[in-house]
A and B are shown apart, each in its own frame.
Chain A
Amino acid sequence: MARKREISEQTAWMLAIRDRRDKQAFARLFDHFAPRLKGFVVRSGLDAAQAEEIVQDVMLTIWRKADQFDPERAQVSGWIYQITRNRQIDVVRRVGRAMPEELKHEDDHEPDAGQVVALEQETGKLKQALKRLKPEQRMMIEKAYLGDLTHQEIQAETGLPLGTIKSRIRLGLDRLRHELKELREP
């Protein structure tokens, strides 16, 4: 039996940053993510100084764009991953990349704890699946998400259970759409 889980501390820090502009929570988030972020960016081929510049930019973006974080649809790490790749691409291309339209809850929206925890559990399964991969499979996945493979080179079958996490995110998205629809149709 899975034990009842609480919202992870990373998500709790991020919500404190988003809703209360809590600098202490930001300092904790920094201590957790910034060193990993540097390690991650260095793996994509940047030197230490360039990587540290990216880390600084990404951490500031997390603070400034905190209102876009939605724990019903994204994990903190996944959200930070996209900010990081966007930043790395902007540095190389010097022009902004095309981004999907943003969707946002109302400011007074209380996240649904059941949905948040369920999504965290799905992400936990994903991490376990990554650990179980054969080394060469894992290397291909790292290359893909670090930006070393073209879309033609990325294999459709990654061996990761993406279907279940997609369905879970979709539920969060449907709830948001429902809320947005109700706002339009009072």
Chain B
Amino acid sequence: MKTITHHTPDPMLAAYAAGTLPPVFEVVVATHVSMCDTCRASLAAHQAVGGALLESADAADLPERLKSDVMALLDMPAVDPQPAPRRSGIYPGPVMQALKSRPPRWKSLGFGVRQSILSDGPDGSLRLLHIPPGRAVPDHGHNGMELTLVLQGRFDDETGTFGVGDLEIADEDLEHTPIAGAGDPCICLAATDAPLRFRTFVPRLLQPLFRI
């Protein structure tokens, strides 16, 4: 198994633990942590900080009945929560959850590039991208931050090589042209904290494509 070299930054893991990431980024981070033990350990470290703060919080008075209520509920059968979706093929559990446990519904973007939109709204978008070797990875419209996590294959751009489990974080300032590597088609989970802008990625698809 290839080593993951591009990780989730600490502020993002802390925000994930605290729950302040946009939900679409949350899916990407939860997926990355599912694939990356380095970040799983880092996330646990942030949870430990939260735990230390919890331990040092001032104790507040509780009504007496609260404890007896909870103790009385211990023997009650729990309302069965939805079991967490399991990994399926290359798609880790959090992706399967976003897919509602169904296979991706691919739509062609031309040149063999396909996408499956998992969510798209005012607070951001989440989608799967399928890029044949040598083709450019569509960008998300440079109007926010974009997270791209490789689930299969790899892509390369000016900043480096991204293989399975690697996470690329790009903002408006990063001018880059990711190209899918040779071998298997590159499948990525991509999120942006802005709605998709379809117009903006068409020109990139028409850019000269290298390595074909």
Interface residues of A (CB under 8 A from B): 23, 26-27, 30-31, 33-40, 42-43, 48, 51-52, 55-56, 59-60, 63-64, 73-82, 84-86, 88-89, 93, 95-103, 122-123, 126-127, 130, 141-142, 144-152, 154-156, 158, 160, 162, 165-167, 169-170, 173-174, 177
Question: Do B58 and A165 touch across chains, with their CB atoms under 8 A apart?
Answer: no
Interface residues of B (CB under 8 A from A): 9-12, 14-15, 17-21, 23, 25-27, 29-31, 33-34, 37-38, 40-63, 66-67, 69-71, 73-74, 78, 82, 84, 86-87, 92-94, 97-98
How long is the Cα–Cα vector from A81 to B56 in the complex, in angstroms?
12
A-B residue pairs in contact (CB < 8 Å), sample of 12? A36-B54, A37-B54, A80-B51, A97-B19, A99-B84, A100-B43, A101-B34, A145-B53, A151-B20, A152-B11, A170-B37, A173-B41
Number of inter-chain CB pairs below 8 Å: 216
Question: Do B60 and A144 touch across chains, with their CB atoms under 8 A apart?
Answer: no
Residues of B within 8 A of A100 (CB): 30-31, 33-34, 40, 43, 93-94
Q: A-side binding surface: helix, strand, loop or mixed?
A: helix
Output the nearest chain B residue to A88 by Cβ-Cβ distance: B19
Question: Do A156 and B49 touch across chains, with their CB atoms under 8 A apart?
Answer: no
The one of A27, A85, A141 that contacts B19, using a Cβ cutoff of 8 Å: A85
How long is the Cα–Cα vector from A27 to B67 in the complex, in angstroms?
8
Question: Do A98 and B97 touch across chains, with their CB atoms under 8 A apart?
Answer: yes
